[in-house]
Structure 1
Amino acid sequence: MMRQPQICKGAPMAPRKLYAGAKLRETRSRLGLTQKDFAARLGVSLPYLNQMENNNRPVSTTVVLALAQEFGFDVTELGSGDAERMVSDMREALADPVFSDPPPLSDLRLAAGNAPALARAFLELHAAYRQTHERLASLDEALGRDDAQTQQSPWNEVRDFFHYCDNYVDAVDRAAERFGTLDKPGQTVTDKARSALQDRGISVVLADTDPVRQFDRERGILQLSSRAAPETRSFQMLLQLALLTQDKLFEATLDLARFQSDEARAIAKIGLANYYAGAALMPYGAFLAAARDQRHDLERLANRFGASIEQVAHRLSTLQRPGAKGIPFFFVRVDQAGTITKRHSATHMQFARYGGACPLWNVHQAFETPGRFLRQLAETPDGIRYINLARDVSKQGGSFGAPVRRFAIALGCEVKHAEALVYADGLDLDTAQAFEPIGISCRICERTDCHQRSIPPLERRLTITPDARGVLPYEVG
């Protein structure tokens, strides 16, 4: 979405100019129009269009209106966070010691805005380098993995796929919505899924077992663990149904993604099945309406749709359907070491691709207060302010002595959406001191006075004074 100008005391700030040359070229190419025809439809001269497509001029208000009126274009996509996400990812990649003299931030923004395909290729190349380097660092792993030495990690490749499609897959989402829309009074999505499986000759049984879900294709039995929470069993039933009924849709989607390995494609297929299950359990239109009506109260939404808190939070981050978008949220899940195990951002908020999240973020404190929601007002180095919500979602083992899987989730959005969130009630949104200064990762955070800094920031000179010591053993220039 377009970034809104920050409101500060003192002189008013001019609105940020919108440069979206790559989006304009992509739109024109999709419509099959020449520059001359496209310029005529938009009501501008050919040279002016050429300058906008090359980011030499900002997109004018006249062009924005023409895009909406002539082509039904969702103009909020012009300011989508793709470029900012790529800039953040490139800055973190360039923090690698292999780059002795990284390019300035202005060059990165130019590359992300004008040549996004080149920027993605650079990120893929760096990811391939990191993986090869890590394999060589471990002799056992290098000896055991003598194939595809330069390929990106399948897991990271799939995560990037969902990341760059804004975690919204339209065809899968709409198919799930059709299934999740109930046509019988008193029926639940779980009832409908069980009935659909029975129609295919598959019985659903509960058993006191460790595996949450186990499907016996030969016998036609889907076994679910009685130790799992009811919402988990419902989700797993829908996931298995998706694998059985949506194979053609998933395969077509995977063909378009062009993954580098069979492993990545297999992981992505499971990811699409998970996406379908969540979208069926919480159908887009009904869930969006309920979220707005309940002011995004996670507990009420969980009760209404028979879902878990984590499932609801994740679903809120996927509501990016063109023409019917919800609030742009970010969503992450971290483990006790601070490693991000799930991440998605429909906002300008970015997350470290490697390593842990900023230690000043309230998601790390959620482990200390199980069962409670923690609220935080935060400001990133770019001046954007957020309201963050964190909660632990540790998963019990289901029996005495069984290991507990400990996770915490965070959900947040820009503070300008605070009125639509029940969690913003009572917070002091007008005082600058109420906002915690957080960052992405220490390597690319430009804050010079952070007491939690672990390593120096990129592109800053350091001053070492042997006879003085402050919070850090150096001073950042």
Structure 2
Amino acid sequence: MAYSKLFIGRRVRELREASKATQAVFAERLGISTSYLNQIENNQRPVSAAVLLALAEKFNVDIASIGGSDADRLLSALSETLADPVFGGVSAGFQELKLVAQNAPSFAHALITCHQAYRRNSEQLASFDDQLIRTNAFAEPSPYEEVRDFFHFVDNYIDELDRAAEHLAKGLGVSDRDVGTALADHLEKHHHVRIARAGNGERVIRRFDASARVLYLNSYSPAPTRSFQMAFQIGALEQRAEIDAIIERARFRTVEAAEIGRIGLQNYFACALMLPYQSFLLTAKELRHDLHLLAVRFGASLEQVAHRLSTLQRSGLKGVAVFFARIDRAGNITKRHSASKLQFARYGAACPLWNAHQAFETPGRMHCQLAETPDGVRYLSIATEITKADGGFGSPHRRYAIALGCEISDAGDFVYADRLDFGNSSAFEPIGVSCRICARLDCIQRAIPPLKSTITVDHNRRSELPYTLC
């Protein structure tokens, strides 16, 4: 197996310090000289294949996870941050940014946090141009933003909750029986919680009466939604101590963020309980990631299945690195995660050329797209529209598009790739991440100029755009 050059000095140093070993002792265990280890830790030399194998054998390091998506996510966020004109056109090269992301991640996170505070201040001041009000609330991220970033930077995988859910799922046999029945039986037998219908006038999906030990569910919700809410309640009852510990480690800034984080963690447990890790991973491979078949097999919704595929990041047992997003009709990304190189923009709408937007035009259809981002990486993207309703004809219906995809090297693992022409370069549509940071100068769907571009206006000539970018 051929390895590209890996500069993972920080990872090696952290591993050595965790084992409380000196450089001499650690180098001896790896079978290398102390000077070579010193050069590795200071990123003066890359690690060799032999050193990687020694790390895997002696310290149980997952080789596949080294230099992976953690740095990619941080690198993407850092690159987008520095694209803001406030930095005066700083032109940091890819390798320079990569070194910062790998060797000084705390500094990178601090810079991103500072930039987020700056943007919030700017937006607030723009909204209140007749007032000069500065409070701490303007400088702090919203609770939802903070929780979103927490899941983003832990790779959307919570090992403690995932393994606990898998263990319980095995005991309940959820892979071999109706999941809703299994969860309802568990709530009644182990927690003396009875399932009942919510009142017709109640606009709730779930309501738990702790004193009466009754879990009220909306009887008009689809079966996967009712199952998910039962699994959520089991997580709330059984995983409180573990979730408290995770929240404590996360150090959320506000009580609101901590409570939203608690909901997110209970949602995570619920999804992992309905779709237990190893069983779901093996079935996804067997069915070649056919979302409809997976939904039927596990009694889940398409969204639950697609979201779960993006969380399969267990060390030593990872699934295909996929991206997942949920988009509303206004183009807002309401859920997002990527284990692939494709990282969603933190600000602004998604690229209009992305097939996720087409899903609203033909409900019920799976849209398959071959796409290429400005960095030359190619992807398979699958998108479809979903509708959520908790009532009859007159009830409000929420419509979303969900999108799932992977890098083209993994596309063969998806049934949706079978009829696509990978050998035809023109079949790959040029998409970006967000107009504000997209480097494509000739895109006819551009909404706003990219931040780092220069605009030239020719009053005697007009093409698709009223300006020329250079």
| Length-normalised TM-score, structure 2 | 0.93
| Counterpart residue identity of residue 37, structure 1 | V
Say whether 1:281 aligns with 2:269.
no
Q: How much does 1:147 deviate? A: 5.9
Say whether 1:359 aligns with 2:352.
yes
- Alpha-carbon distance change, 308 to 145 in structure 1, aligned in 2, over 3 angstroms: farther
Which residue of 2 is the match for residue 315 of structure 1?
Answer: 308
| Counterpart residue identity of residue 33, structure 2 | S
Alpha-carbon displacement from aligned partner over 1:408-461 (angstroms, at most 9, x marks no partner): 010001111122111110111111111111111112211121111222224344
CA contact (8 A) 2:157 2:312 kept: yes
Say whether 1:57 aligns with 2:45.
yes
CA contact (8 A) 2:64 2:316 kept: no
Query: Which consecutive unaligned segments of at least 5 residues does structure 1 have?
Result: 5-14
CA contact (8 A) 1:362 1:375 kept: yes
| Counterpart residue identity of residue 263, structure 1 | E
Residue range with higher mean Cα deviation, 463-472 or 58-67: 463-472
Say whether 1:455 aligns with 2:448.
yes
Which residue of 2 is the match for residue 47 of structure 1?
Answer: 35
Q: In structure 2, what is the Cα distance between the partners aligned to 1:308 and 1:400?
A: 21
Which residue of 1 is the match for residue 70 of structure 2?
Answer: 82
- Alpha-carbon distance change, 55 to 194 in structure 1, aligned in 2, over 3 angstroms: same
Question: Which residue of the other structure, out of 189, 192, 204, is the alignment partner of 1:201?
Answer: 192
Which residue of 2 is the match for residue 429 of structure 1?
Answer: 422
Which residue of 1 is the match for residue 467 of structure 2?
Answer: 474
- Alpha-carbon distance change, 350 to 40 in structure 1, aligned in 2, over 3 angstroms: same
Aligned counterparts, 1:307-346, within 5 A? 307-346=300-339
Q: In structure 1, what is the Cα distance between the partners aligned to 2:410 and 2:26?
A: 35
CA contact (8 A) 2:85 2:451 kept: no
CA contact (8 A) 2:173 2:182 kept: no
Q: How much does 1:139 deviate? A: 4.9
Question: Which residue of the other structure, out of 14, 19, 44, is the alignment partner of 1:26?
Answer: 14
Question: Which residue of the other structure, out of 260, 263, 269, is the alignment partner of 2:256?
Answer: 263
Aligned residues between the structures? 464
Which residue of 2 is the match for residue 168 of structure 1?
Answer: 157
Residue range with higher mean Cα deviation, 264-273 or 185-194: 185-194
CA contact (8 A) 2:326 2:402 kept: yes
| Counterpart residue identity of residue 353, structure 2 | L
Q: In structure 2, what is the Cα distance between the partners aligned to 1:152 and 1:37?
A: 44
Q: In structure 2, what is the Cα distance between the partners aligned to 1:475 and 1:405?
A: 39
Residue range with higher mean Cα deviation, 309-318 or 431-440: 431-440
| Alignment root-mean-square deviation, CA | 2.3
Alpha-carbon displacement from aligned partner over 1:359-395 (angstroms, at most 9, x marks no partner): 1100011000101110001111111111110011121
Q: In structure 1, what is the Cα distance between the partners aligned to 2:433 and 2:43?
A: 27
| Counterpart residue identity of residue 34, structure 2 | L
Which residue of 1 is the match for residue 181 of structure 2?
Answer: 191
CA contact (8 A) 1:235 1:278 kept: yes
| Counterpart residue identity of residue 272, structure 1 | L
Residue range with higher mean Cα deviation, 294-303 or 43-52: 43-52
SS, match of residue 398 in structure 2:
coil
CA contact (8 A) 2:324 2:338 kept: yes
Q: In structure 1, what is the Cα distance between the partners aligned to 2:469 and 2:41?
A: 39
| Length-normalised TM-score, structure 1 | 0.91
CA contact (8 A) 2:331 2:357 kept: yes
Query: Which consecutive unaligned segments of at least 5 residues does structure 2 have?
Result: none
Q: How much does 1:184 deviate? A: 5.9
Q: How much does 1:470 deviate? A: 3.0
Give identity over the alignment, percent: 51
